[in-house]
A and B are shown apart, each in its own frame.
Chain A
Amino acid sequence: MSLLALPETALASLGRACFAGLAAVGRVAIYAAVTLWHIIRPPFYGREFFSALLSVGWLSLPVVGLTAIFTGGALALQIYAGGQRFSAEAVVPQIVAIGMVRELGPVLVGLMIAARVTSSIAAEIATMKVTEQIDALTTLSTNPMKYLTVPRVLAGFLTVPLLVGVGDIIGIMGGFLVSTEQLGFNRASYIKNTVDFLQTADVVSSLIKGAVFGFIATLIGCYYGMNSGRGAQGVGSATKNAVATASILILAANFVLTSVMFGQ
């Protein structure tokens, strides 16, 4: 290959990668639209929905709680140490509250859900595909989108905001425990400062982010599961790609939502 052809080849590769990326975005968007269409049209599978509520929401509580409490505690220590540099240690309750509710709560819960739920959904549905269970559903006159995707995505959309709410509270509690037990803050004034400082918009933004992240995490898990390749390698690849994509999309959505809700 001549040296002159190198830039052309590189550009062609870049172009192909861009087209492939855009095609993937298009496929996910179509999948999301089809999912939304099926959400509003019967039949509805109540048992699968309640099972998904339990798996996505209730069983994620321990990991969400532990993540939030340690993050809240670490945040309090960081803000206290940083605030000391300009004699602003007293703002720990307010910054922990706003930091947890507006940003860390939703993002960390979203990422934990991507790790726990997206991976599990992708692996489960991919295994069902590999073992022909998806084909079996179709031959039994059951639409796999309705039976597998809709219950999980709806459960993610409804339960992740609740998990975010719980995560916010536990994170603030983590900051409270560290601040009052280790940094010498007064308990009553810590709580008063937190409650006085937080606004309804902060909490609402947190819950909206939770709903969007829950939708993304479950949708991507289902998408990669349904489109997995063959064999164990196909299942592994679907799971890995689902978690990576969901995590990136959650972080990107967080930026967009923050810009829309709090951008100047």
Chain B
Amino acid sequence: MIELSNVAKTFGKNRVLRGVNLTIPRGQSMVVIGGSGTGKSVLLKSILGLVTPDSGRITLDGSDVREANRDAFLARFGMLFQGGALFDSLRVWENVAFRLMRGATKRPKDEARAIAIEKLRRVGLKPETADQFPGELSGGMQKRVGLARAIAAEPEIIFFDEPTTGLDPIMSGVINALIREIVTEMGATAMTITHDMSSVRAIADRVAMLHDGLIRWTGPVSEMDQADDPYLQQFIHGRAEGPIESVR
């Protein structure tokens, strides 16, 4: 279980997180929604230690993440980045098997390649893709490779940062379905940040809405449509009118 208590982060004069409280239960898929620039990525990166919060506490299974052994802590996570974040100079299979070829979980090259090809197959890519470079793939294929890399070491917790951004609706549907299947299959705890409502409905067990540096609403996805929070309702229905200010 991941717990965030009063997590705050400021960049210069911009108070991005103002005291976030959020619990992500083990084995559940939590989707954090919110407009652009509301601090969703900062929240996710704070958990991973890529951003250091100014105050507050983040715990994983009761232990403060700042006190954890860094390698052991990160070995429990997999992450799909918004743009894929694939390493251009490495072949696709080397990207997928990156963690498997280094550190404590290092495996022989042939075994790492075989696992990478299996994971590529799991996300719907053919074995021939393995020897291509990321630059030779379409955006959708890059997302799939990123997904294969995120699950390659079979992590307990998987983070998805805007998994469908920049994809057409059909490919978005494919990626959403893949994420749901994989998270269920692996029994992993998942945290997704997105502003794509089709992703929310496809992926989420629980939803949290982040607005103005605070969690405005959180609850099961089944209760989202009936919730009476005006911010949440404006956001999920994409209305221009409402308490959330929009620049026009």
Q: Which residues of B contact A131 (CB under 8 A)?
A: 83, 85
- Given A135-B81, A139-B77, CB of A43 within 8 Å of CB of B45: no
Residues of B within 8 A of A140 (CB): 74, 98-99, 102, 149
Measured between beta carbons, the chain B residues less than 8 angstroms from A133 are 85-88
A181 interface residue, CB < 8 Å from B? Answer: no
Task: Evaluate contact between B74 and A139: CB separation under 8 angstroms.
Answer: yes
Within 8 A of B (CB), among A31-90: 43, 51
Q: State the Cβ distance, A38 to closest chain B Cβ, in Å.
A: 14
Q: Does A142 contact B (CB under 8 A)?
A: yes
Neighbour of B102 across the interface among A51, A138, A139, A142, CB < 8 A = A142
In contact, B85 and A142 (Cβ under 8 angstroms): no
In the bound complex, how far is the Cα of B74 from the Cα of A128, in angstroms?
20
- The answer on a CB contact under 8 Å between B48 and A43 is no
Task: Tell me which residues across on chain B come within 8 A of A132, comparing CB atoms.
Answer: 81-83, 85
* CB pair B50 A139 closer than 8 Å: yes
Q: Does residue A141 face the partner (Cβ distance < 8 Å to B)?
A: yes
Q: A141-B71, A141-B74 are in contact. Are A135 and B98 (CB under 8 A)?
A: no
| Chain B proximity of A155: nearest CB distance (Å) | 15
B236 → chain A, closest Cβ, in Å? 27
Is A136 a contact partner of B79 (Cβ separation < 8 A)? yes
Q: Once the chains bind, are A43 and B85 in contact (CB under 8 Å)?
A: no
Q: Are B48 and A141 in contact (CB under 8 A)?
A: no
Is the pair B83, A142 in contact by a Cβ cutoff of 8 Å? Answer: no
List the B side residues contacting A135 at CB < 8 Å.
Answer: 45, 50, 81, 85
In the complex, what distance in Å separates the CA atom of A171 from the CA atom of B5? 66
| Residue of A128, A131, A133, A140 most packed against chain B (CB within 10 A) | A140
With contacts A131-B85, A132-B85, A133-B85 known, is A139 near B79, CB below 8 A? Answer: yes
Question: Does B12 belong to the interface (CB within 8 Å)?
Answer: no
A43 to B71, CA, bound (A): 13
B98 contact from A43, A51, A128, A142, Cβ within 8 A: A142
Contact of A136 among B75, B81, B89 (CB under 8 A): B81
CA distance A142 to B48 in the complex (A): 13
Answer yes or no: B103 CB below 8 A from chain A CBs: yes
For the A-B complex with A139-B48, A141-B75, A142-B98 known, give 14 more contacts whose Cβ atoms are closer than 8 Å. Answer: A43-B103, A128-B87, A132-B82, A132-B83, A133-B87, A135-B45, A136-B81, A136-B87, A138-B49, A138-B50, A138-B74, A140-B74, A140-B98, A141-B70
Residues on A lying within 8 angstroms of B by beta carbon are: 43, 51, 128, 131-133, 135-136, 138-142
Interface residues of chain B, those whose CB is within 8 Å of chain A, are 45, 48-50, 70-71, 74-75, 77-79, 81-83, 85-89, 98-99, 102-103, 149
25 residue pairs of the A-B complex, CB under 8 angstroms, read: A43-B103, A51-B89, A128-B87, A131-B85, A132-B82, A132-B85, A133-B86, A135-B45, A136-B87, A138-B48, A138-B49, A138-B50, A138-B74, A139-B48, A139-B50, A139-B74, A139-B77, A139-B79, A140-B74, A140-B99, A140-B102, A141-B70, A141-B71, A142-B98, A142-B102
